[in-house]
A and B are shown apart, each in its own frame.
Chain A
Amino acid sequence: MISFLEVLQRATTGPMMSAKEYDMKVFIPAVREVVKKYKIEFDPKDPCPHDDDLADRIYQAGVELYSKVGTYCTDTERIIHFTVEEIEQAVDECPKVVYFGEGPDRIEWHGRMPDDNKLPHCHVGSGTNTTEDVALKMVEAYGRITKAKTTSIPSLTTVGTLSGSLGSPMEVLAGINMMRIAREGLRRAGRPGMAIIDLHPSCASGIGTIASSNPEFGARKSDGWIVAPHAELKINYDSLNQVAYLTSWGANIGQEAGPIMGGYAGGPEGTAVVTLAYAFHGILVVRATYHLTYPIQMLNVCSTTPEMIYVISTSSQAFARNIRAPYYALGYASAGPATKQYFYEAAAYLLAIQSSGIGIEDVHPNKAVGTNQALPIDSEFTCAFGHGNVGITRKEANSIIKKLMEKYMPNIKSAPKGRDLYQCYDLETMKPDDELLKLYDEVIKELNGYGINFK
């Protein structure tokens, strides 16, 4: 595989142009061209298709797209280009298994296939805004779920009574603070070696990441460290600095991408191809050993609509069949926490990703914009879903998803807001209140009726 140093070299020697020119003259036309050439068409009747040929066409379209557009470096205003051969070689040689955590909590994560009989990787937690008083309890609750293999940790904006913002020294302090809290939470849950991945939502800058990675604060290279792009397929030196540091340290690096349907990628077809193309950016530019994606719809800002289920299903199938590295997806529900609609939306998304052959993670309620809204019960739901539906096929998933959509799509724009952690949990025991327990029981029974099992 092309070395990271060569990537850096290309960032300073590739063709130069403004970001606008890249979007308008390089990116948008190339996406349109490959969508047409590979005959990729969205059919709302099949949100989760079981068409291997379509999956492979999306893969081919993604390779061709990435060989044309590469990754744009916003600091040098140049394109980092790769040839088709370089992309294919990178796919062949990239790690197909990743090791997370330490001691008895150490796990292996392998890629899966669509319609696979293997248990998917179950990842829990959320990097959403959380107040400091409950952050420790949240992480402890995530750690207590033994089926969960890795966890995300909350995003903090405070250190005690001080609050701050990204880019200020407060980011560094909040990042370190959250790192310490998270490790302590897992220790309290009896899983001190469990890996914290998706680091580090309190930080976005290279300096924040590097500062909070000091082992003194509980961080490890066997945790997972994600590096963000700019939309779409762009990167800056700050992110490349993170890569320079993380590769030198030998840490697990995650590629994260939130491609936007309706944005530069265009409709569902283009977004599926772009979502897949991020994998090549991940392997080559970010040097990723695992991949996280969260395509999202621009107008509703959620990922449970038919278009978005199509995007995540088809791009995941393309990835699973052709790259087979550790990959998982994060969904955004329109409905708020502790509502029936949240669980319907979450079930639809989980059906799509589990059957399409990738790892699963908690679907975030209320589009992840609320505070203290990612409930531990969501994580239990995710894991029970993953274990209960091993071997579910895309065909089965597709038909259940359509029935679930009949229930939630009419309310997607005016989804119920729900209740946050303070309103529906006993914070002493971290147990849901009776109202939520009753709702959860009812929802599980209802979903059982659709053929979804929980274990």
Chain B
Amino acid sequence: MDVKDIFAILTKAIVEGDSEQLVGLVKQAIDKVDPLEMVEKGMAPGMTEIGSKFGEGQVYLPELLMAAEAWEEAMKIIKPRLIETGASMKKQGTVVIGTVQTDIHEIGKNILANLLTTAGFDVHDIGCDAPATKFLNKAEEVQADIIAASAIMSTTVPYQKDIIDLLESKGLRDKYVVMVGGGVVSQDWADKIGADGYGELASDGVQVAKKLISQKKGA
């Protein structure tokens, strides 16, 4: 099989969320093809494709989750090789994402988490009902660039401010880019609490994250 064909099948397996096929092929190809190229030219385009199909409503969350799972399974084999060869993947950045304390509306957060993953971010999802300290602890642990907080109700948006207050009180405000969103959240609210970014939809969130990360890295 030609390398191009291998990449094409890898892409297809990701889009179809077919872990078995993907892992099988990765195992076969790992000694012949550069692992970094497998990720960047084979699997990543699949993630981009499934992400945009999802954005257009052509596929749904289960398909996206399956693609993400296939990705993770394949990475279990590829990652050790990457470490061996000293190659590093181009990561957009590291994100800690969650729904704020007492709020269990998690779907919007899940969508953003998945879209960020498909856009090449390293995403750490801390789930819903997450207190400010959980955001910060995880961010410190994984050396995150971005903290993304979702809050869907007028009764829970104040917890987004808590995250910023916590960062400020620890003198860590400048270390992280803070993004907020969710049903009742608006640009006005984001400005009021001093968040760095806001997105009305998850797809806006991805654009904002990309912009903020390049500003951060440029700075």
- A residues near B, CB below 8 A? 23-24, 28, 32, 129, 155, 157, 163-167, 171, 174, 202, 204-205, 228, 230-231, 236, 260-264, 266-267, 298-299, 301, 367-369, 371
Contact = CB atoms under 8 A, between A and B. Distances in A.
A32 B55 CA distance: 21
Contacts of A202: 155
19 contacts: A28-B62, A28-B65, A129-B184, A155-B153, A157-B155, A163-B158, A165-B157, A165-B159, A166-B101, A166-B103, A166-B155, A171-B155, A230-B106, A236-B104, A263-B107, A263-B110, A298-B61, A298-B111, A301-B183
Interface in B129-152: none
Contacts of B49: none
A204 B106 contact: no
Contacts of B104: 204, 228, 230, 236
A167 B106 contact: no
A23 to B, nearest CB: 7
Contact of B102 (A24, A28, A167, A368): A167
B183 A23 contact: no
B184 A204 contact: no
B86 to A, nearest CB: 32
Given A24-B69, A129-B184, A167-B101, A266 B62 contact: yes
Interface in B154-208: 154-159, 183-184, 201
A166 B131 CA distance: 12
B57 interface: yes
Nearest to A164: B158
B60 A204 contact: no
Interface string B46-85: 0000000001010011100110010000000000000000
Nearest to B158: A165
Nearest to A167: B102
A204 B128 CA distance: 14
Interface size range of chain B in the complex = 20 to 34
A403 B62 CA distance: 33
Dominant secondary structure at the B interface? loop
B61 A157 contact: no
A165 B57 CA distance: 34
A385 to B, nearest CB: 27
- What 7 pairs between A and B have smallest CB-CB spacing? A167-B102, A129-B154, A166-B102, A165-B158, A166-B155, A28-B62, A369-B183
B206 to A, nearest CB: 14
Interface string B90-110: 000000000001111011001
B187 to A, nearest CB: 13
B57 A262 contact: yes
Contacts of A171: 102, 155
Contacts of B57: 262, 299
B155 A371 contact: no
A261 B62 CA distance: 11
Contacts of A264: 61-62
Nearest to A271: B60
B192 to A, nearest CB: 13
Given A129-B154, A165-B156, A266-B60, A204 B107 contact: no
A165 B107 contact: no
A129 B189 CA distance: 15
Contacts of B60: 261-263, 266-267, 298
A261 B25 CA distance: 33
A148 to B, nearest CB: 24
Nearest to B159: A165
B81 to A, nearest CB: 26
B153 A263 contact: no
A28 B59 CA distance: 14
A371 B106 contact: no
Nearest to B203: A299
Interface string B6-48: 0000000000000000000000000000000000000000000
Nearest to B61: A263
B157 to A, nearest CB: 8
A129 B55 CA distance: 29
A194 to B, nearest CB: 25
A38 B171 CA distance: 58
Contacts of A164: 155, 158
Contacts of A263: 60-61, 107, 110
A204 B102 contact: yes
